[in-house]
């Protein structure tokens, strides 16, 4: 038999064994697929289970899923597997809730792309969304079944991607989307470095000054589908011409933004590196501080008192530091990257010691999409978190921050069937979180093998 025929035979066998990762449910008229949702009863068996709440692991574990909901969880000798259920025996793996990344940028190019700096003026409006389809798939296959996308290039392309995933046109995580991040003219949320007349943006694009313009910007993002509002309280690493720690909005402006968002039942995520900007944002009532690189003890106390989450994005700090040292970033941006990366190694330890609520976030887009799970390791390595606490940050805490904890974040009867399995035991080696062998979202298996029938 020729090598080519052997290849085709092997491909056919693999196709027969694997559960399809693409929804195969076209409507009767062939117009559109059905919304991806599990059908029937499936039982998952594994050597151990970590439920996302911080509780002790369960050995020799079983989860029963009916349609898109978990119906039973526990040790094998306590759970009855219904007759006729499909059984997936995954062996020496750990079952976990689907991971949650609370800080992503699925739309557009990633750091290090040679076309990245000119993308805002050279790429077609829809190009970033097309890249987003690939990024969403990579994110899901890495075990991240939910993300909070806090700002996108292109006009509301993140809404388009969310719609395509929800309707089954493409695969990807559940998405909370922010539309355009909101900030000052010339600040981190603006597009800088171009001559006058190029990319002069306004409130619909997230560039707004003064309380009334800011309120208008919030209303416009929500009008076009924003689930969450993102603002830039300080400068940033990758933006042109601003200092990484400098405050941008005044307290009055931030307060107006938060009031408008909360009035319309939206939370606010605040990009904030600098010490004073963190405190202004916390005082204004934001739900989360993103990055928090120069956090100090007073800011940490304020966050604990108000229940403000920290989303530390250590993966991004590691990535920009590497980019500065290798010459990918130059000049002021390289200086900012090195300063922020050094500072965040201290601030994450302070946050952990202060018992700030921490939710996993990577700033994916600064890092390569699909590499999100390295954040679990960095929270342990840089922050001194225990493996269990880092897992809670990427499951239950993320669900609480997103307001999805009623249905996601832990493995419990009644919750949506977003379930991941990793090879080995992450409590012994946190790098196991990067070795995802099985992914189920909403009861649909996107990665894994059927190995038995009850």
Catalytic residues: 230, 363
Cβ atoms of residues 73 and 411 within 8 Å? yes
For 107, phi then psi, to 5°, come to -85, 135
What is the per-residue DSSP string for 253-318?
HHHHHHHHHHHTT--EEEEE-SHHHHHHHHHHT-SEEEE-TT--HHHHHHHHHHT-EEE--HHHHH
For 231, phi then psi, to 5°, come to -130, 160
Rounded CA gap, 398 and 360, in Å?
7
User: What does DSSP assign to residue 183?
Assistant: B
What is the per-residue DSSP string for 58-97?
EEEEEEEEETTEEEEEEEGGG-PPPTT-EEEE--SEEEEE
Q: Which of 67, 91, 118, 150 is nearest to 316 (CA)?
A: 150
Rounded CA gap, 135 and 437, in Å?
19
């Amino acid at each position: 038999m020729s090598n080519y025929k052997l290849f085709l035979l092997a491909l056919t066998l693999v196709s027969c064994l694997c559960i399809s990762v693409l929804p195969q449910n076209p409507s009767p008229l062939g117009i559109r697929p059905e919304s991806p949702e599990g059908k029937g009863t499936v039982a998952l068996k594994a050597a151990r289970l970590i439920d996302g709440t911080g509780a002790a692991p369960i050995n020799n574990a079983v989860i029963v899923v009916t349609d898109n909901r978990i119906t039973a969880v526990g040790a094998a000798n306590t759970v009855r597997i219904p007759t006729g259920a499909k059984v997936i025996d995954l062996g020496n793996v750990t079952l976990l809730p689907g991971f949650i990344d609370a800080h992503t940028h699925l739309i557009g190019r990633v750091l290090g792309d040679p076309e990245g700096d000119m993308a805002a003026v050279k790429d077609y409006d829809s190009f970033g969304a097309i890249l987003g389809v690939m990024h969403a798939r990579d994110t899901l296959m890495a075990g991240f079944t939910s993300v909070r996308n806090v700002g996108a290039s292109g006009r509301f392309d993140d809404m388009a991607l969310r719609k395509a995933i929800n309707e089954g046109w493409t695969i990807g995580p559940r998405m909370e989307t922010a539309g355009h991040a909101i900030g000052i003219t010339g600040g981190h949320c603006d597009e800088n470095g171009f001559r006058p007349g190029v990319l002069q943006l306004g409130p619909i694009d997230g560039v707004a000054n003064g309380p009334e313009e800011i309120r208008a910007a919030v209303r416009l993002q929500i009008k076009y589908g924003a689930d969450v509002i993102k603002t830039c309280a300080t400068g940033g690493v990758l933006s042109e011409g601003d200092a990484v720690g400098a405050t941008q909005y005044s307290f009055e402006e931030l307060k107006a933004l938060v009031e408008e968002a909360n009035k319309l039942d939206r939370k606010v995520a605040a990009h904030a590196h600098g010490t004073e900007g963190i405190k202004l944002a916390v005082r204004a009532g934001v739900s989360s501080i993103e990055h928090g690189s120069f956090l100090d003890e007073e800011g940490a106390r304020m966050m604990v008192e108000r229940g403000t989450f920290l989303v530390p994005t250590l993966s991004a700090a590691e990535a920009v530091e590497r980019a500065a040292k290798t010459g990918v970033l130059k000049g002021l941006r390289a200086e900012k990257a090195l300063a922020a990366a050094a500072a965040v190694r201290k601030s994450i330890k302070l946050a952990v010691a202060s018992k700030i609520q921490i939710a996993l976030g990577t700033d994916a887009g600064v890092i390569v999409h699909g590499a999100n799970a390295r954040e679990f390791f960095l929270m342990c390595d840089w922050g001194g978190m225990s493996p269990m606490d880092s897992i809670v940050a990427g499951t239950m805490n993320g669900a609480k921050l997103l307001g999805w904890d009623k249905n996601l974040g832990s493995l419990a009867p009644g919750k949506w069937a977003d379930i991941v399995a990793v090879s080995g035991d992450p409590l012994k080696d946190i790098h196991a979180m990067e070795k995802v062998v099985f992914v189920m979202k909403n009861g649909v298996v996107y990665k894994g093998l059927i190995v038995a029938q009850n």
